[in-house]
């Protein structure tokens, strides 16, 4: 695709705009960028001329974003962030034989994937990996990842989803909390302090219903938005938690958490590996898919 140079702004000009917008001052922007105030003013003027809109309005001793400037700023910040990320990735992989960018669910990445990565890198020496947390599906055309770990249904726009594994959750607690609040039946948990995962608010209700228990009190308790936080809260004795067993292997082995009832439940969704359509034949992506399928098998 041939780009029109007239429509491609200079990155330094966009930096000047973002900086001036953040400070509400051309003078402070100039100080941060190590430029003169007139240089920043000229860059903003050139950008306004190129766009054909006024980006700032002068109010007393400050400059404030116009309506057009307010709409333009988030896109500029996104572009600058992507540009910086592109350069960092290029520098990191400059001497590597291959590189692999992975978008992973936060706790899955830190608790399951990263501890196993040495085996993958041993099998594929010279490979550099870049792992970033993503909790929801995104547009692969806007975010340059080679693949993503996805929990849900096998649906992702312009990508192919390969099944990895189902998810089995178990009720757990710290040994001191269990000793003070013993549990012998599912009914007992109805009167115990519960820990909630904000992104899956029905988890306890589904578990109670699967065990034939009234789920009326299933929504009470402290709430956290990541499995990693729920794990730490459970370990600290804040309550009973429903957690995927694969995420708490270390705690179960160390004895800082224990399964309080042998009542596992398979959740309604599963884990998938999503690969964008344009990268299905990427050799290192293919190698990773084979490797991770072997790991979860």
pLDDT in tens, 177-213: 999 999 999 999 988 999 999 999 999 999 999 999 9
- Give the pLDDT band (50/70/90) at residue 1: very low
The average pLDDT across 108-136 equals 94
| Domain 168-267 CATH class label | alpha beta
Same fold, 98-165+270-296 and 168-267: yes
The average pLDDT across 254-278 equals 96
**What is the residue extent of each domain of the chain?**
11-93, 98-165+270-296, 168-267
The per-residue pLDDT for 3 is 47
The per-residue pLDDT for 94 is 55
Residue 65 Cα distances to 8, 36, 246, 260, 265, angstroms: 21, 20, 49, 57, 53
The average pLDDT across 100-111 equals 95
| CA pair distance 182, 271, nearest whole angstrom | 33
The per-residue pLDDT for 216 is 82
CB 159 within 8 Å of CB 140 = yes
Tokens describing residue 242: 């429903």
Q: Which of 9-13, 144-148, 153-157, 226-230 has the lowest mean pLDDT?
A: 9-13
| CA pair distance 17, 21, nearest whole angstrom | 6
Q: Looking at domain 98-165+270-296, which CATH architecture does it have?
A: 3-Layer(aba) Sandwich (3.40)
Strands 195-197 and 241-244: unpaired
| Domain 11-93 CATH class label | mainly alpha
The per-residue pLDDT for 70 is 94
The average pLDDT across 234-261 equals 96
| CA pair distance 43, 14, nearest whole angstrom | 9
The average pLDDT across 6-33 equals 88
3-class SS of residue 7: helix
Q: What is the pTM of this model?
A: 0.71
Residue 258 Cα distances to 107, 242, 284, angstroms: 19, 11, 38
The model's pLDDT over 54-63, given as tens digits with 9 standing for 90+, comes to 999 988 778 8
Tokens describing residue 92: 């990191």
Q: Of 250, 281, 247, 243, nearest to 264 (Cα)?
A: 243
């Amino acid at each position: 695709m041939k780009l029109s140079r007239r429509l491609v702004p200079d990155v330094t000009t966009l930096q000047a705009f973002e900086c001036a917008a953040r400070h509400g001052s051309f003078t402070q922007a100039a100080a941060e960028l190590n430029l003169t105030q007139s240089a920043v003013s000229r860059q903003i003027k050139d950008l306004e001329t190129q766009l054909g809109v006024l980006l700032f309005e002068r109010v007393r001793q400050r400059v404030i974003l116009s309506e057009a400037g307010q709409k333009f700023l988030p896109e500029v910040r996104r572009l600058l962030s992507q540009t910086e990320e592109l350069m960092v990735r290029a520098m990191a992989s400059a001497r590597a034989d291959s590189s692999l960018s992975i978008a992973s669910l936060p706790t899955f990445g830190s608790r399951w994937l990263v501890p196993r990565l040495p085996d993958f890198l041993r099998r594929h020496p010279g490979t550099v990996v870049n792992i970033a947390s993503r909790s929801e599906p995104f547009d692969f055309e806007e975010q340059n990842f080679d693949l993503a770990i996805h929990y849900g249904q096998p649906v992702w726009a312009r990508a192919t989803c390969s099944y990895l594994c189902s998810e089995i959750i178990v009720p757990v607690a710290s040994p001191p909390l269990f000793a003070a609040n013993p549990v012998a039946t599912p009914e007992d948990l109805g009167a115990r302090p519960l820990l909630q995962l904000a992104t899956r608010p029905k988890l306890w209700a589904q578990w109670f219903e699967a065990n034939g228990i009234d789920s009326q009190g299933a929504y009470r308790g402290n709430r956290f938005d990541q499995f990693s936080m729920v794990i730490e809260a459970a370990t600290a004795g804040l309550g009973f938690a429903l957690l995927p067993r694969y995420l708490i292997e270390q705690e179960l082995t160390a004895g800082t958490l224990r399964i309080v009832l042998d009542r596992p439940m398979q959740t309604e969704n599963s884990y998938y590996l999503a690969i964008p359509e344009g990268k299905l034949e990427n050799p290192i992506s293919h190698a990773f898919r084979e490797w991770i399928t072997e790991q979860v098998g």
